[in-house]
Chains A and B, each alone.
Chain A
């Protein structure tokens, strides 16, 4: 079955500290993976994506993620967190074809990030 697991529901870090948000997926074929960020009361913004090639991908706002096939993981990292990074972070994988010839995103439950000054 296809699924995305974000083990950490809530994380608190101090401003300036490093950050790693975990994401594990279950998908039989080559996964197409995404990280999105959602600020309170807002829609979602794409941070980065992995399709193929270099397993370390760079995104916006200083974020990066590393695809590790052996661990079925796609963890999001940032070397130094800013207070404005406080938000909800969602990992997603592009699922299999459905009857309507679409491939839907399968979402993790999200990780809420709080940043202490």
Chain B
């Protein structure tokens, strides 16, 4: 149980275009989802916390207008990288909690490798 599906797994786009990444909880309802960015050989960097039905909470230094997050349902959150640039190339990972309590483990998607040319 507690499967998180992330799509696409890989995407290559041209500079200036926008890319949407989907994160779905397949067998549970996720009131909270988290979006991470991971640079090669480095740890996870939390970008934002996505709560169903409300605006996402962005971490300091993350541009909310560039990384649009929509958590419209209890099973789907999307991250849209707008006007992508080569420096946005990275590995993006979503995760979701199965609910309360607050210390319940995160379940991760398999990540999306974004390459901006």
Contact = CB atoms under 8 A, between A and B. Distances in A.
A104 B46 contact: yes
Nearest to A105: B106
Q: Is the interface of B mostly helix, strand, loop or mixed?
A: strand
Interface residues of A, number: 26
A72 to B, nearest CB: 18
Interface residues of B, number: 25
A42 B49 contact: no
Interface in B14-28: none
B102 A103 contact: yes
A107 B105 contact: no
Nearest to A51: B103
A42 to B, nearest CB: 5
Contacts of B108: 36, 43-45
Nearest to A98: B57
Given A44-B95, A51-B103, A94-B103, A104 B49 contact: yes
Which 3 pairs from chain A and chain B are nearest by CB?
A43-B108, A32-B103, A44-B108
18 contacts: A41-B91, A41-B111, A41-B113, A43-B4, A43-B110, A44-B44, A44-B93, A44-B106, A44-B108, A46-B107, A51-B103, A99-B57, A100-B51, A103-B103, A104-B34, A104-B49, A109-B43, A110-B42
Interface of A: 32, 34, 36, 41-46, 49, 51, 90, 94, 97-100, 102-105, 107-110, 112
